[in-house]
Amino acid sequence: MKHAVTFQLHKTDTRTKARRGTLFTPHGRIETPVFMPVGTQATVKAIKTDAVRHLGAEGAHILLANTYHLYLRPGHEIIREAGGLHAFMNWDGAILTDSGGFQVFSLGDLRKITEEGVAFRSHIDGSAHMFTPEKSIEVQQALGADIIMAFDECAPYPADRSYVEQSLQRTTRWLQRCKQHHRNEDRQSLFGIMQGGMYSDLRRQSAEQIVELDLPGYAIGGLSVGEPKPLMYEVLDACVDYLPAEKPRYLMGVGSPDCLFEGVERGIDLFDCVLPTRIARNGTAFTSRGRVSVKNAKYARDFGPLDPNCDCDTCRNYSLAYLRHLYKADEILSSMLLTEHNLYFLVHTMEQIRKSIEEDRFLEYKKTFLEGGGGCE
Amino acid sequence: MKHAVTFQLHKTDTRTKARRGTLFTPHGRIETPVFMPVGTQATVKAIKTDAVRHLGAEGAHILLANTYHLYLRPGHEIIREAGGLHAFMNWDGAILTDSGGFQVFSLGDLRKITEEGVAFRSHIDGSAHMFTPEKSIEVQQALGADIIMAFDECAPYPADRSYVEQSLQRTTRWLQRCKQHHRNEDRQSLFGIMQGGMYSDLRRQSAEQIVELDLPGYAIGGLSVGEPKPLMYEVLDACVDYLPAEKPRYLMGVGSPDCLFEGVERGIDLFDCVLPTRIARNGTAFTSRGRVSVKNAKYARDFGPLDPNCDCDTCRNYSLAYLRHLYKADEILSSMLLTEHNLYFLVHTMEQIRKSIEEDRFLEYKKTFLEGGGGCE
């Protein structure tokens, strides 16, 4: 059987687990490691797809969209009728959809978990719905992304060992149901998700169960859920070792600049995060000197760029003083210019990371970047 | 003395007062008649200047910005230090600033008029300020627009004849003070503003007084302030006849598609209006078939374009169903895509109007356009 998405590993760093690869999808090839901008509601917030396509030197080639949100609004059937998500949102690059699992678990009192699936109420109108592994796959097939994700439970932090163990085992049973229900493997590839909380042996148990299903890619879920970063890195270190080297590895929901370096160093290929677009709308930018809040009064007469080391359109053409004015005046252009910058910053940084791996100087690049202040924790 | 802005009249229609001309400014030439997008706070809301520059086939070449708003925030001195408005907002085309008169008069209880000027309180923080003709000119010189406007009073509608007469005479005295205070005529051109409400003889009186000052251009103020459109057209008919043919004529604050045709027919060269950008943010579009509200439930599964006769990026790449989804989901991209469409629609329509005048078929084009439903009243 031909898989929709395949992965080719070009090189592994000699001193770390960092690696250079290429992901081949029905909508083009993606050089890894890569950061995927998030388009929750079938739009990366405050930026047009043609601008996303031209971020950095090579452009962004894969986006993430959200099954829960699109199922509720506009409805996956409408997107199916539109010809799928690519056509609907005018994006001819690749798309990954999450399963909706993370969102329905985040609903708290509005959801109830059983072996069958999760009953929940819409955050929009309170209407009652049920997501099962089968339903999630059906919705994701209607959306038509290149990579679809298994329906899983992301255990909270902190959580009892016994809860985490039961939860990861249910996640495995749900993954088996997802795989069973998934039909068009030549057009969409199903990735499994490892869980297991902060317990290294449970991570191993989860990995062994999901790897057995021989899927085209694996994600690490349940990290960056409130735990301290050193703990996350420790767990991540172990996680990666339980996954097969020849398959792509996706660290879900992680994307601050420092975490990208730490993730790459530990062998991660794919990242996504709402942070760059969310903080942009809040007037905050990632820069090579650390986070900058354009609200700051000291920028009122700063006619220099947001980041003198950045070549994005925002940094080439607009001043900090102007960006501050736009934010204070509540102008949409503020969100637009900062979103473009933040995404460019991450896409560009990943390009530099890829190059540094190719040239055997990943650790040196990481050191320079973080010592310059670009980590933006 | 060399004027910053000059006007060349190429042709007047044989059957109407419609005319084709060119405005030469320190920031390029502008073919007239023209619609000027409004960038109140040093940004055309929800669109980048490079996109504004590429609207229609020929692009937009002149924007309007707002003295009152920029004086209060970020402050005209900051914009002066930035190198003027063009540099501050990254726009190398021409700019026209209004005088702030219209905005301070709109403040109602927050302002008090005397012969000296207008004392007012900021709508942002309630702080006390005073605009005089001299102050308005100073602020506009700091902003550095190519065309600056006289500080005038726009009389309300309806208004007593005696009030309108006193008001227009004060506007003339203020214009004399503006001209007196204006120094750098080789870099910025001062346009006078005709007032006189709905009284044809007062319009004549105002025109005679301001034309005597031999300014490089004249605006018609005090229309589209709540009066019925037939009355506006009737007054406008008279107004234009009192203005010299060799100077450009600017109809302030008017820009719905039907009014553009009626204004051009009566000899107007310049228009501006917040309508296209404002209604865009409210989910409404001008189209060749009339106004379309993307909110409408009937568009939920309409995978065709907003306007099948439009070549803008929005109409070429996105469906009504997608635009409706974005609006309902409260996505910034909704405002972005509809703003781009609405501005394109007006810029394109003005291009077609110019061509129709050149080819002696303005009235035919107007008839076709309005009968098709494009008037969008």
Please report residues of B whose CB lies closer than 8 A to that of A329: 41, 69, 73-74
Write down the pLDDT at residue B174. 98
A231 at interface of B, judged by CB pairs closer than 8 A: no
Give the gap in angstroms from C-alpha A300 to the nearest C-alpha of chain B.
8
Give the gap in angstroms from C-alpha B358 to the nearest C-alpha of chain A.
36
Write down the pLDDT at residue B157. 94
Q: Which of B333, B339, B340 to mutate to test the interface with A (most CBs of A within 10 A)?
A: B333
For the segment A43-53, the average pLDDT, to the nearest whole number, is 98
B330 part of the active site: no
B336 at interface of A, judged by CB pairs closer than 8 A: yes
The three-state (H, E, C) secondary structure of chain B, written as one string: CCCCCEEEEEEECCCCCCEEEEEEECCEEEEECEEECECCCCCCCCCCHHHHHCCCCCCCCEEEECHHHHHHCCCHHHHHHCCCHHHHHCCCCEEEECCCHHHHHCCHHHEEECCCCEEEECCCCCCEEEECHHHHHHHHHHHCCCEEECCCCCCCCCCCHHHHHHHHHHHHHHHHHHHHHCCCCCCCEEEEEECCCCCHHHHHHHHHHHHCCCCCCEEECCCCCCCCHHHHHHHHHHHHHCCCCCCCEEECCCCCHHHHHHHHHCCCCEEECCHHHHHHHCCEECCCCCCEECCCHHHCCCCCCCCCCCCCHHHHHCCHHHHHHHHHCCCHHHHHHHHHHHHHHHHHHHHHHHHHHHCCCHHHHHHHHHHCCCCCC
What percentage of chain A has pLDDT greater than the value 90? 96
Q: What is the pLDDT along chain B (377 residues), one digit of tens a residue?
A: 689 999 999 999 999 999 999 999 999 999 999 999 999 999 999 999 999 999 999 999 999 999 999 999 999 999 999 999 999 999 999 999 999 999 998 888 889 999 999 999 999 999 999 999 999 999 999 999 999 999 999 999 999 999 999 999 999 999 999 999 999 999 999 999 999 999 999 999 999 999 999 999 999 999 999 999 999 999 999 999 999 999 999 999 999 999 999 999 999 999 999 999 999 999 999 999 999 999 999 999 999 999 999 999 999 999 999 999 999 999 999 999 999 999 999 999 999 999 999 999 999 999 999 999 988 76
Q: Which residues of A are catalytic?
A: 98, 272
Smallest Cβ–Cβ distance between A300 and the set B78, B325, B328 belongs to B78
B92 at interface of A, judged by CB pairs closer than 8 A: no
B88 at interface of A, judged by CB pairs closer than 8 A: yes
Confidence of residue A109 (pLDDT cuts 50, 70, 90): confident
